Amino acid sequence: MRDFSYLRAGSVDAAREAAALPGAMLLAGGTTLIDLAKCGVAEPDTLVDITHLKGLDRITVDERGATIGALARMGHVADHADIKSRFPAISEALWQAASAQIRNMATMGGNLMQRTRCPYFRDPSNFPACNKRQPGSGCSAIGGVTRGHAVLGASDACIAMYPGDLAVALAAFDAVVHLGERRVSVDDFFLLPGTTPDREHAIEPGEMITAIEIPGSAAARRSTYLKIRDRQSYEFAAASAAVGIEFEADGRTIRDLRVALGGVATKPWRARAVEAALNGKVLEPDAVRAASLLAVEGAVDHGANHYKIALAPRVVARAILKLGETA
Amino acid sequence: MTKTTIPVHLDINGHHHALEIEPRVTLLDALRDRLGLTGTKKGCDHGQCGACTVHVDGERVLACLTLAAQAQGRAITTIEGLAREGELHPVQAAFLEQDAFQCGYCTSGQIMSAVACIREGHAGSDDEIREYMAGNLCRCGAYPHIVAAVRQAALEVAS
């Protein structure tokens, strides 16, 4: 790991100012950044530590929704009683992510800045070509070992998968990222790779995530996060789904369905086609399975990741049917 | 970029330590290489194995992904700080009793993780223990005995 200078920010404004300088980066939990610095992927000149800033770890939940400070840690949010009762999919996405140790370190804001686990991205000495690291250098993953790569939202420049869980649940429930005064929807916060895979987030130099806001809804209250992976715990998703349902008064007709996918796309992937196909319909297994196929409309495989195209709709269908059983 | 060292003050197992280190030094390397506290182990050094688990302000974290400078002002507990006046912590005793290790390399991380797991209230069943201990890998595969040790210690702590 290359050496860098370290400073503790005294305020949000001081942090933003210091991190806007060339070569400077914000440091929160460090679970991505210190790891990538050891890999030689991140080479900061200065780390601006924000973990000691006061007041940015508050969690407030009421009828209108939840506002979670950027420095609230994943483990605390996962265990928060009101998050568990009003936003079960958020709690489940959090506790199924990483390990207890990492969840105690990693912050909510830092989680949104998590980088891909593409092994080619993480290994600059063996794979110099990576458009995400070095724009224009090429993509080592295309034509390589692709079992963990994206089938949705990829481009000719990059097929790296978005690895997180939390943001998938946030996307399903229309969460909003607070960048100080500026507000950006989670859907707009994450960028498709296109021709600029080096740019992953709609955040500008001098900006810092200060909070995440999740509107309250009946669908968020009846929600779940289903994560399928190669081993039962402490693993990234092979495919996952954040699903929420609000039923009409009859308890069978779907009024408001929310579906977002993880483990299959280059960003948290809202599956609006599935929602549109089932809203207004009676929840019925065959209809749910047929509509869930729309989750992977337009999917393109790169060989070994083909299984994700078959797996993702089944994960979506199982999550919807599981929520239906509790009606 | 600077090559200079910075002063870092660490509170470890109730003792104060003053260090002069490069900012990039992790808490793990500071413990092992500067302070001789080698009970905390370096496994993967990338946050994937849990061997370096310590407590910071009472919560389990990974020392390999924590900069020593970040831990200044926090209370750090390592495996060396668990026993009280020569008496093993109930989790340490349970690991011995249940034979919950083979080579022993992951054990201090397992024990630090287990102490926190029980304190968090995440040791209510074998399934819950497995889920909340998942961040600690044991390549010898002593998992059944580790789960038994955590279950035993959780019961003892509760009684």
Averaged over A46-69, what is the pLDDT?
97
What percent of chain A stands above pLDDT 90?
99
Q: Which residue of B has its CA nearest to A102?
A: B61
Mean pLDDT of all residues belonging to chain A? 97
| pTM score | 0.97
Query: Could you say which of A4, A31, A37 has the minimum Cβ distance to residue B1?
Result: A4
Q: Which of B21, B65, B131, B143 to mutate to test the interface with A (most CBs of A within 10 A)?
A: B65
Contact indicator for B110, B116 with CB cutoff of 8 Å? no
Contact B66 A99 (CB under 8 A): no
Evaluate if residue A4 carries a pLDDT over 60: yes
In sign, the C-alpha dihedral spanning B33, B38, B44, B47 is negative
B8: which chain A residues are within 8 Å (Cβ-Cβ)?
none
Chain A: closest CA distance from residue B47 (Å):
7
With bands split at pLDDT 50, 70 and 90, how would you rate the model's confidence at A309? Answer: very high
Is the Cβ of B43 closer than 8 Å to some Cβ of chain A? no
pLDDT for the residue B1: 47
Q: Hey, which residues does A256 pair with through a beta bridge?
A: A246
Contact A6 B23 (CB under 8 A): yes
Evaluate if residue A326 carries a pLDDT over 80: no
From the options 1.10.1040.10, 3.40.50.180, 1.10.150.120, 3.30.70.360, give the CATH code of B90-158: 1.10.150.120
Give per-residue pLDDT as tens, A59-83.
999 999 999 999 999 999 999 999 9
Contact A3 B6 (CB under 8 A): no
Contact B46 A234 (CB under 8 A): no
**CATH hierarchy code of domain A5-49:** 3.30.43.10
Query: Could you say which of A4, A31, A79 has the minimum Cβ distance to residue B47?
Result: A31
Contact A3 B3 (CB under 8 A): yes
Is the Cβ of B47 closer than 8 Å to some Cβ of chain A? yes
Contact B62 A52 (CB under 8 A): no
So what CATH class is A218-325? alpha beta
Query: Could you say which of A45, A75, A232 has the minimum Cβ distance to residue B1?
Result: A45
Give per-residue pLDDT as tens, A211-231.
999 999 999 999 999 999 999
Contact B2 A2 (CB under 8 A): no
pLDDT for the residue A159: 98
What percent of chain A stands above pLDDT 70?
99
Contact A38 B46 (CB under 8 A): yes
The domain ranges of chain B are: 6-81, 90-158
Contact A3 B1 (CB under 8 A): yes
pLDDT tens-digit profile, chain B (159 residues): 445 899 999 999 999 999 999 999 999 999 999 999 999 999 999 999 999 999 999 999 999 999 999 999 999 999 999 999 889 999 999 999 999 999 999 999 999 999 999 999 999 999 999 999 999 999 999 999 999 999 999 999 888
Taking a contact as any Cβ pair under 8 Å apart, which residues of chain A between 53 and 92 contact chain B? Answer: 75, 79
Contacts of A271 (CB under 8 A, 6+ apart): A259, A260, A261, A294, A295, A316
Q: Say how many CB pairs under 8 Å bridge A and B.
A: 95
Contacts of B22 (CB under 8 A, 6+ apart): A3, B3, B4, B5, B6
Is the Cβ of B120 closer than 8 Å to some Cβ of chain A? yes
**CATH hierarchy code of domain B6-81:** 3.10.20.30
Contact B130 A49 (CB under 8 A): no
Query: Could you say which of B61, B116, B120 has the minimum Cβ distance to residue A105?
Result: B61
pLDDT for the residue A327: 53
Contact B23 A4 (CB under 8 A): yes
CA B147, B150, B154: angle at the middle one, nearest 5? 140
Chain B: closest CA distance from residue A241 (Å):
20
CA pair distance A223, B65, nearest whole angstrom: 33
Averaged over A181-208, what is the pLDDT?
97
Evaluate if residue A94 carries a pLDDT over 50: yes
Contact A3 B60 (CB under 8 A): no
Contact A101 B117 (CB under 8 A): no
Q: Which residue of B has its CA nearest to A43?
A: B1
Give per-residue pLDDT as tens, A253-273.
999 999 999 999 999 999 999
Give per-residue pLDDT as tens, B63-102.
999 999 999 999 999 999 999 988 999 999 999 999 999 9
Contact indicator for A59, A211 with CB cutoff of 8 Å? no
Is the Cβ of B128 closer than 8 Å to some Cβ of chain A? no
Is the Cβ of B67 closer than 8 Å to some Cβ of chain A? yes
pLDDT for the residue A46: 97
Residues of each domain in chain A carrying CATH 3.30.43.10: 5-49
Would you state the structure tokens that stand for residue B117, as one six-digit string? 């797991």
